[in-house]
Chains A and B, each alone.
Chain A
Amino acid sequence: MAHIRTTAASPAELAGLLERHAYLCDDGLATACFLALRMGRPLFLEGEAGVGKTELAKTLAAVLDAPLIRLQCYEGLDASQALYDWDFPRQLLHLRAAEAAGVTDVARLEGELYHRRFLLARPLLQALETTPSVLLVDEVDRADDEFEAFLLEVLSDFTISVPELGTVRAEAPPAVVVTSNRTREVHDALKRRCLYHWLEHPTFDREVAIIRRRLPDAAGRLAGQVARAAQRLRAADLLKPPGVAETLDWAEALVALGARDLDPGTAAVTLGTVLKYREDQQRVRAAGLGALLDGG
């Protein structure tokens, strides 16, 4: 089976390509993406909320110049929403039209009814039929474990069999990114099929670089101050430590307010962009916002 071609010949080169699309990643993640593309294996990403799991899939799609097909998982997700479904109303319409036109060849008409054009492709089928493509199976831990079973089936062979139509096989398997927030343990069989990567919060330097790359308007000092404050918030034992997504929101809010510096005043009015729990906000306010900013 041919896999999606990348121009990147090494993880470092792929990291460069991702960076050109404003996604900064470390060696581990670059190697993970590189191997996922080269080996045609799904990439299983776990990590705190907001460390950039979903964003990676989007950027990968941009790098490969391929459409991103997203399957958001939820409790109760079933095959007719993830794989395919028959379009009954259109089939019926087709029958009526045939009736009106006086078609008498019943066998041919029946054959026509289960034609590909009456099949509604849901994300998994869509991804197999689109070459190249990037398939994002988001928050797989939210789906039921039965769903994992048929996801495993699709991801091992990259085929889906439709009884009335036959087997749909991917010309080249899509690049697959599976994310999980670890609200429950995902079955080992699924993980075994994948490359497993645990995403950490970025280091201070990388976070500064990410803010600068994403928000060129953030003044030099502001990016450093926001990143330092975010690092301190993560160490501060909160209910929900901020992820990169929140840091970026925060910096963006400050830029929108025209702030050139993060000081206790501007931090107080924008705290809601980075801390989303009342207890966390109270705790940080009680400790003094100044403590977040010292030494910047």
Chain B
Amino acid sequence: MDAGRDVTETMVGFARTLRAAGCPADPERVRAMLGALDHLDVLAPADVYWAGRLTLCADPADLPRYDRCFAAYFSGATARPGRPAPPPPTLRRTLTDGARPPAPDGADDPEVGTAAASDVEVLRDRDVARLGAAERAEVGRLIALLDAATERRRSRRFEPAPTGRPDPARTVRETLRRGGEPAPPRYRAHRTRPRKVVLIVDVSGSMGPYADALLRFAHAAVRSGGRSVEAFSAGTRLTRLTRELRHRDPDAAMAAASAAIPDWSGGTRLGAELKEFLDRFGQRGLARGAIVVIASDGWERGDAGLLGEQMARLRRLAHRVVWANPHRARPGYEPLTAGMAAALPHVDDFTSGHSLAALEDLARLIGGGRVRGSAHARRAR
């Protein structure tokens, strides 16, 4: 640290670096950090480290980011205050870069500039992998408007209600309140709470053309479902995206999500990912009684046996397991890939999610509704 530089200035610059890296270092937290430093030794690196970590982080996922920024900032290697951090790569770039691996069937060339005045009704049923840039933007806008409000489940708790079962406690309290005069009986009914929904979006190379639309769908679900919806990306590393996707603006949320996902367009280790999800989140409660939606083509590079095992485990925890495979909509599709075949026996609803209409169906599924013309039978093989 330069001796001449003000502590406050240095730390505010550090907080800015952190914000750019995705930590929630907002002004109130920065104030708390400066307050913490008052009680510690500003010149001791360990004290500065802990003062910042305790006040500027809010999630275990922030800790590695914090460590990186701390090392970089205080060694003076990068990111001086005043120089804005480079903008995180955006999703669009990832999707349209030449480096993108070809889609499995080779039919992914965007038909550039054909979309100008496409009718929404026409767009609804088009496969999102075959859209031009303008059409894709339009579909993205429409997905953001989807209402994926979640189904409600009955809670074990009661709440006062105008009718229902008698509520002895409240009736007696009311009677006591009136000094023992009989009071009209009170009633109670089970509360309802939004059912939890977990979306796991495969962002591996083979899902490339669909990942953007599906993440936008996840954004719409997280925005409309409040705190009962959680979103993750899977590929080679499981990433929790709920916080990134909570951003109001779809494009900002997408940018934040793509910055957070370390394994864009990589391979798929779905079985291992699912295991990690269940170990770290699912079993502790996230998947219990939840509707779990897995959006993936089931191209498993790892062990399909592990995927089957973990799907069985998920099935025991979750209320319903929905699998959205965009390739399912292709004529003549058969679930032949090893991963898909291993997973299917443990799936309640097998749907597609390849077009706006299909995503609307998915939203309806999450809302507890039934879907037109979808194969609903639980598959037993």
Interface residues of A (CB under 8 A from B): 11, 27-28, 31-32, 34-35, 38-39, 41, 46, 75-76, 88-89, 92, 95, 145, 181-185, 187-188, 191-192, 195-198, 237, 239
Contact = CB atoms under 8 A, between A and B. Distances in A.
Contact of A239 (B173, B279, B281, B285): B279
Contacts of B60: 46, 182, 198
Contact of A196 (B58, B281, B284): B58
Contacts of A95: 179
A87 B227 CA distance: 35
A192 B54 contact: no
Given A75-B156, A192-B28, A32 B58 contact: no
Nearest first, the 7 closest Cβ-Cβ pairs linking A and B are A183-B285, A76-B157, A31-B50, A88-B176, A195-B54, A38-B39, A191-B58
B238 to A, nearest CB: 14
25 contacts: A11-B50, A28-B50, A32-B54, A35-B54, A39-B35, A39-B36, A75-B156, A76-B156, A88-B173, A89-B176, A92-B180, A181-B284, A182-B281, A183-B285, A184-B227, A184-B285, A185-B227, A187-B227, A188-B24, A192-B24, A192-B29, A192-B58, A195-B32, A195-B54, A196-B58
Contacts of B114: none
B150 interface: no
B284 A183 contact: yes
A96 B283 CA distance: 55
**Interface core residue of B47, B50, B157 (most chain A CB under 10 Å):** B50
B63 interface: yes
Contacts of B51: 31, 35
B133 interface: no
Contact of B39 (A35, A185, A239): A35
B242 A92 contact: no
A39 B39 contact: yes
B55 interface: yes
B378 interface: no
Interface of B: 24, 26, 28-29, 32, 35-36, 39-40, 46-47, 50-51, 53-55, 57-60, 63, 155-157, 173, 176-177, 179-180, 191, 227, 230, 242-243, 279, 281, 283-286
A75 B285 contact: no
Contacts of B29: 192
Contacts of A32: 50, 54
B58 A195 contact: no
A185 B32 contact: no
Contacts of B28: 192
Given A75-B155, A182-B284, A239-B283, A196 B46 contact: no
A196 B179 contact: no
A187 B50 CA distance: 22
Contact of B227 (A46, A92, A145, A239): A145
A97 to B, nearest CB: 13
A195 B29 CA distance: 9
Contacts of A187: 227
A34 B38 CA distance: 12
Given A31-B51, A38-B39, A196-B57, 18 more contacts: A11-B40, A27-B46, A41-B32, A75-B156, A76-B157, A88-B177, A89-B176, A92-B180, A145-B227, A182-B281, A183-B286, A184-B285, A185-B230, A192-B58, A195-B32, A196-B54, A198-B60, A239-B283
A185 B60 CA distance: 11
Given A31-B50, A35-B39, A183-B284, A92 B57 contact: no
Contact of A197 (B54, B156, B157): B54
Contacts of A185: 59, 227, 230, 242-243
B63 A92 contact: no
Nearest to B28: A192
